[in-house]
Amino acid sequence: IAGITQAPTSQILAAGRRMTLRCTQDMRHNAMYWYRQDLGLGLRLIHYSNTAGTTGKGEVPDGYSVSRANTDDFPLTLASAVPSQTSVYFCASSLTVSTDTQYFGPGTRLTVL
């Protein structure tokens, strides 16, 4: 693995279903982030983690949850998907939570019907 990987690449999901988006980084970065990107809007932060074992809420956390059991993995779970969660989801990481550059995974395109 080099950098950040996300899975799946794309997914079509029925409303009400549970879904987990996976994110793994091999750069030993302490901080990780989940964003959603919608047409005409900037990247919006869903949840973040400053270091393994801690998580925090971003700008749009409702309907999403995260965990950070170790340094490398930062899964995002939609407990009961709704059509408004149709979006492109990007995972990112940075060495620390301060002013360090964030590096992005390739993204997951999610459609909720």
Partner 1 sequence: GQNIDQPTEMTATEGAIVQINCTYQTSGFNGLFWYQQHAGEAPTFLSYNVLDGLEEKGRFSSFLSRSKGYSYLLLKELQMKDSASYLCAVTDSNYQLIWGAGTKLIIKP
Which of 27, 30, 44, 61 lies at the binding interface for partner 1 (CB under 8 A)?
44
Q: How far apart are CA 91 and CA 23, in angstroms?
A: 6
For the bound state, the minimum distance from the C-beta of residue 93 to partner 1, rounded and expressed in Å, comes to: 12
**Strands, E, within the chain: which ranges?**
4-7, 10-13, 19-25, 31-37, 44-49, 56-57, 64-66, 76-78, 87-94, 103-104, 108-112
Residues 55-74 that bind partner 1 (CB under 8 A): 58
For the bound state, the minimum distance from the C-beta of residue 53 to partner 1, rounded and expressed in Å, comes to: 19
Which of 45, 52, 60, 95 lies at the binding interface for partner 1 (CB under 8 A)?
45
Binding of residue 46 to partner 1 (CB under 8 A): no
Q: Which is nearer to partner 1, 80 or 111 (CB)?
A: 111
Q: How far apart are CA 79 and CA 77, in angstroms?
A: 6
Q: Supply 38's token pair.
A: 């919608």
Which positions from 88 to 107 touch partner 1 by CB under 8 A, shown as an x/- string?
A: --x------xxx-xxxxxxx
Q: How far apart are CA 75 and CA 68, in angstroms?
A: 8
Site for partner 1, rule CB under 8 A = 40-45, 48, 58, 90, 97-99, 101-107
